[in-house]
Structure 1
Amino acid sequence: MASNMSCIGITARDQEDFGRRMSLLLERSEPAGKSGAHELRVWSDASGASVSFVLSKDGVECATPGFRAGSRLHARAKRFASDPDCRFCDPLLVDIVDAKGELFYPLATQLDDLLLTRERVNEGAVLELGLCAFAHGLDVWADAATFEAAQEGKEVKFTTESLMPSGLFPLDGTERPPAAEAFITGRVLEAGLRENLATGETFQHAIVQTYGGSYDVLASPQELAAPLEPGNIIQGDFWLVGRVTSGLAEAPRPGLLRRLFRS
């Protein structure tokens, strides 16, 4: 199974090699903002790949891979759930909706700039999201006809455009915290290999149409027998991460906060 980092062209021989690669990207990162005692720094390059680092006086507390998504979805914000391992990875729970606000499905996703935007996501707000789906295993069919033929005889059949918010379901019958995961079947609209300029490694990018809208899909080439092409049908387990591109509340001004605390 591919790692999230390998889906944007960052692989490592071992933990020590991974640490060196992260240190290099951190050195090349740019400051994005601060919240309290923490700072967000972001490395990105022309491929669209990015890594968001949350730093404190003790060092790096979180490193989240991302990608500059071209796809857009409409969502209604609900609340943030709690990640048991990292508070900077708390998933945002939303309802994916159509242009009229009608529900497609609930979903959980991480935000790679959570440090700066958490307090700007209001419950019930209508958001525009650019979401990326990092493949943790991927099956590919040449076209819709081939996929539909493969469904024959199966007890559980999927349409060519379907999404199951698997991160909201129990795992092996055991309740768990919401996770930014989905099982997606979709049609490839655009596809191409990208080169991570920091590592020289390639990764697969595609825009995939599924139920409820389109997602930017990222995958390690090692997961694929051949590069994806428009018209392919893909299916697999995905980790979701993205950004709110519209609908955030205005950030409070520091001076205003000081006046409010004094009053």
Structure 2
Amino acid sequence: MGDHFTAMGLPAGNGETFAATLARVFAEARDWTRSGRGTRTANWRDPSGAGVDLMVRSRFGRRREPCATPQFTGGGTQTVVPTAVVPDAECPGCDLLAIEVHEEGEMIYPLLVAASRPYAHRLGEPSTAHLTFVAESVETDPDPDDAFPLADRALIPIGQFSDPPTASVLATGTVTSAEVRRTRLFGVPFHHITMAGLGGDFDVVAAHGDLPHGVRAGQRLRVEGWVCGRVTT
């Protein structure tokens, strides 16, 4: 499977390719603001839905290399309650947002998210989220006799149990749409899927060619991946 950037049509490849990608994104970034832990953040968004959050901090008057987090803006929505910011030991740009996902007024599971601007959220208040699963492994119509079977709608926040914790998830749901998109800035194709899952409708992105052939609406999908997205109060 491709990395989290190529899953959104952003060239990563070798070091030179990735540096060139970041340079173009940096030139297009907008909305620079001061954020948590003494940093400045900005974002770049492509009409395809792909995007990058940039975090910059200075040391002794010199700007350090930016942290870049891929983000995707999709149409899926969930009802969540932010509960805490989980700081990264080394990089403020990699801080995670802890949330509870709710359905019919009840919390159904906790989740860690690589959220856009994690320090901007009001903790403890119901919010609307737009979460995306960036696919690392995808299976369609998984075998019902699998050694670890999951329900038709299921989600396991596997990143909660790692050390350090990560925004990783294992989820199943039903495909409601599948298409190939292309970033306008880079012209790179990627797969975009919408999936009805446990807790709402989710967007799923994957590098071009990384999905099983012929993914279509109505199929059951099992995704292991990384969770990013926006939470709005």
TM-score, structure 1 normalization? 0.80
The within-5 A match list for 1:47-126 is 47-57=48-58, 58-100=63-105, 102-114=106-118, 118=119, 120-126=120-126
Residues in 1 aligned to 2:84 and 2:140: alpha-carbon distance in whole angstroms: 34
1:39: how far off? Answer: 2.6
Residue matched to 1:168: 160
Q: Describe the SS at the equivalent of 1:7.
A: helix
191, 194, 201: which one aligns with 1:214:
201
Residue in structure 1 matched with residue 130 of structure 2 by the alignment = 130
Please say if 1:236 is aligned against 2:223.
Answer: yes
Contact 2:41/2:56, CA 8 A, preserved across alignment: yes
1:61 shift after superposition: 2.8
1:38 aligns with 2:39: yes
Residue range with higher mean Cα deviation, 79-88 or 195-204? 79-88
Describe the SS at the equivalent of 1:11. Answer: coil
Deviation, structure 1 residue 238: 1.2
Counterparts of 1:155 and 1:28, CA distance in 2:
47
- Structure 2: stretches of 5+ with no match in the other structure: none
Residue 110 of structure 1 and its aligned partner are, at CA, apart by 1.3
| 1:227 CA drift (Å) | 5.1
Higher helix share: 1
Opposite residue 103 of structure 1, the aligned amino acid is M
Count matched residues: 228
- Structure 1 stretches of 5 or more lacking a match? 142-146, 171-175, 248-263
SS of equivalent to 1:222? coil
| Secondary structure in 1 matching 2:66 | strand
What is the Cα deviation at residue 32 of structure 1? Answer: 4.1
* Amino acid of the structure 2 residue aligned with 1:229: R
Q: Distance between the aligned counterparts of 1:99 and 1:158, measured in 2?
A: 22
- Provide the C-alpha distance between the structure 1 equivalents of 2:53 and 2:123, rounded to a whole number of angstroms: 25
Separation in structure 2 between the aligned mates of residue 126 and residue 12 of structure 1, nearest angstrom: 36
Distance 2:90 2:191 in 1: 29
Could you say which residue in structure 1 is the equivalent of 2:182?
A: 195
Q: 1:227 to 1:39 in 2, by over 3 A?
A: farther
1:84 Cα deviation from its structure 2 partner: 3.1
Percent identity for Structure 1 against Structure 2: 25
Structure 2 counterpart of 1:140 = 140
Tell me if structure 1 keeps the 8 A contact 2:139–2:212: no
Cα deviation code 1:25-82 (max 9, x no counterpart): 1112223423385332222221011111112341443111111121111112211112
Q: Deviations over 1:138-191 (max 9, x none)?
A: 1123xxxxx4xx213x33221221110101124xxxxx1321110011111122
In terms of Rg, which structure is larger? 1
CA 122–29 in structure 1, closer or farther in 2 if over 3 Å, else same: closer
* SS of equivalent residue, structure 1 residue 151: coil
SS of 2:21's partner is helix
